[in-house]
A and B are shown apart, each in its own frame.
Chain A
Amino acid sequence: MTRTRKLLAKTLLLTAAASLMVGATTREASACGGAWVPIVEEQIDWRVPGVLQAERLMDAGKSTDAAASVVRMMPHIKSLKMSASKPLVNRALRVLALSVARTDGRLDAARQLPAHVQDTWLGKSAEDRQTNLTWATDILRKTAEAQENDPQSRTELAEALARTEGGEKEALGILEELAKADLVTSPEGYAALAHLRQKRGDRAGTKLAMERCEAMAKDKSTCAVHG
């Protein structure tokens, strides 16, 4: 009992001290659910450099690391919606969706993600993987729609579609159109094109797409034809 009281007293003391410190830098307050919530002036939103870092990891081909960092920053990300007024959220969603697509809905991130935020991201079951891929394709489609005629988001949508059942025809259409204009924006995009052409028996086209992929990729394993 005494220990509990001491603990309670310490907690209250620390809370009061923290409130004073926060209060010293606040300029206004607002009510949230009836509680007084201080708004800290000039508070740094660490998600800004965090999302940037995740994008860089993605560019460096480290899809899993990129995805894991986004989920750690925004554990509730699956519940977030894309919005023109929230570019940071949109960027985070895009990184995670692309990572999920590139790993076929199976993020190998058990060590990087605490159990309570893992959700379906590890893709342990076929159902989870399907859920993840469907979610990723939906996000990438909305991204592409929001950025009309943007080759990057179209390439990324096609990449995801190429990995889903029923999405291959649409993916091939997008990638062929982009390739014709030299606007496929990633080696992964060319790998997906090679995969789709191979399935259609287009050997010469597959070879060309593979050559482009291998010229662009840091690591030739990026160009391994999946599926």
Chain B
Amino acid sequence: MTRNHRLTWFLTLTTTAALWLGCREKPSPEDATPAPGPSASAAPELARAEVHPKGDAARGEALTQAFECGRCHDGAELVQSPLEQHCGHCHMDIMNGTFKAPKTELAKWQPVVEPYRDIPSLQSSAQRFKASWLASFLTAPHDLRPHLKQSMPRLALTEEQATDIAAFLTKGAPAPAQKDPLAGGDLAKGRALMEQKGCPSCHTMTGVPAFATQPDAKSADERTRRGVLLAPDLRFARERMPRESAIRWIRDPSSIKKSTLMPSTSLSEQEARDIAAYVFDTPLEAAPKRAVPERLAVLSRPVRYQEVFDEVFSKTCVHCHGDPQVARGDGGPGNTGGFGFKPRRLNLASYSALLSGMVDTEGERVSAFKPTADGTPRLVAALLARQAEEAGAKPGEVRGMPLSLPALSSEQVQLVESWIAQGRPR
């Protein structure tokens, strides 16, 4: 590959928002809100402790390659993708100035890339995640990190495949403890300690009264800023993490995950237990329901392709639906395939390419504007589906787009819909 080919590829990568990194689908209330946890005096019984689902770890390992988990994530013995396909490494190289490109180009790309360089590592996932949570998250991912723009994409995984991957990622997980390790934790003390130790300076915890300190995603300190991006909303901790790991994680996270940005704190075991008890067992309010944005009427003013390209396609879509002619034959997963998706040949990089449509599940070329059952053009249906997913709707037949990124605004969808309604003027 010539340097210029690489440059063109990475320019495409960075001028748009990445589609592959994850859905920001908000969980539906029943998904997102576990039953209110018991109070400190009534720690959950061990009968409710994690039971590993039946999954085939070897098959799961193969699936992580088929679904290219190593294209974004490090750790967990994942097979890493080459640099030009590895999202995080490439973005990190651009940010560090070590990517082979003229400095002037790097300076242009860096502000665009910055929000997309931080991707959670899967290192030591066996100690950090419950297999059952992983399996359900993989089939119906939702937004875990309030400050990270991208999130886990909704891949075309069956429940069985997700269970196998979860089995691989949790291979060698410690056996459940006989006694609840968080028993005896004091929730009130735990909350006070969290404030005292600065946990809320990175972590949000929805469903509990707000902490005095709030995460600062624009902190001047880079480690803090990145920490805020990667810190999950603690309301999900009880679903994600084995109770057995919580105390050690809180006291010395790097002893579990070497690369973590979470600092070690000088906490006694009891103090860590108090914090863990609060995080895992304090009652949570239901997650606020997010409304589906209003679908705006089509515009009466003329809308031309260039405007739609500038405002929508170039900002978001072409990262995955790019032109294979300018990127060594890789038009992105939405075009030439990837992340387990078959090549759909949908290219949004130019007018004529977009009008060339896509390959459907039967292998036939179909228009991207083909009406769905309710008459909505398919392209618009995908954009609306993403908005619905964010509002907690169950995934439907049309996969919400942009995959793994926030839904487009109503105004952006309106622009696309207006352009289509006006006959797709060039």
Q: Which of B343-399 contact A (CB under 8 A)?
A: 345, 350-353, 355-357, 365-367, 369-370
Q: Which of A105-154 contact B (CB under 8 A)?
A: 149-152
Contact B426 A217 (CB under 8 A): yes
The answer, among B8, B325, B329, B365, for a CB contact under 8 Å with A181, is: B365
Contact A181 B350 (CB under 8 A): no
The answer, among A48, A182, A218, for a CB contact under 8 Å with B426, is: A218
Binds A, one of B120-128, B172-180, B184-192, B417-425: B417-425
Q: Which of B17-56 contact A (CB under 8 A)?
A: none
Determine if B4 is an interface residue (Cβ-Cβ < 8 Å): yes
Contact B367 A182 (CB under 8 A): yes
Distance in angstroms from A112 CB to nearest chain B CB is 23
Note all chain A residues with C-beta closer than 8 A to B369. Answer: 182
Note all chain B residues with C-beta closer than 8 A to A197. Answer: none
Contact A48 B352 (CB under 8 A): no
Contact B352 A187 (CB under 8 A): no
Q: Which of A74-109 contact B (CB under 8 A)?
A: 87, 90-91
The answer, among A48, A55, A61, A181, for a CB contact under 8 Å with B357, is: A181
Determine if A165 is an interface residue (Cβ-Cβ < 8 Å): no
Note all chain B residues with C-beta closer than 8 A to A215. Answer: 422-425
Contact A185 B355 (CB under 8 A): yes
Contact A52 B356 (CB under 8 A): no
Report the separation of the CA atoms of residues A16 and B358 in the bound assembly, to the nearest whole angstrom.
56
Contact A87 B325 (CB under 8 A): yes
Residue of A45, A52, A215, A216 with highest tally of chain B CB at under 10 A: A216
Determine if B5 is an interface residue (Cβ-Cβ < 8 Å): yes
Residue of A52, A150, A152 with highest tally of chain B CB at under 10 A: A152
Contact B355 A186 (CB under 8 A): yes
CB-CB contacts of B2-17 with A at 8 A, as 1s and 0s? Answer: 1111011000000000
Determine if B290 is an interface residue (Cβ-Cβ < 8 Å): no
Which residue of B has the minimal Cβ distance to A214? B423
Determine if A195 is an interface residue (Cβ-Cβ < 8 Å): no
Report the separation of the CA atoms of residues A150 and B354 in the bound assembly, to the nearest whole angstrom.
11
The answer, among B325, B329, B367, B425, for a CB contact under 8 Å with A217, is: B425
Given contacts A183-B365, A183-B367, contact A150 B423 (CB under 8 A): no
Determine if A42 is an interface residue (Cβ-Cβ < 8 Å): yes
Q: Which of A158-207 contact B (CB under 8 A)?
A: 181-187
Could you show 7 A-B contacts with beta carbons less than 8 Å apart? Answer: A42-B3, A44-B3, A59-B352, A151-B357, A182-B357, A183-B357, A186-B355
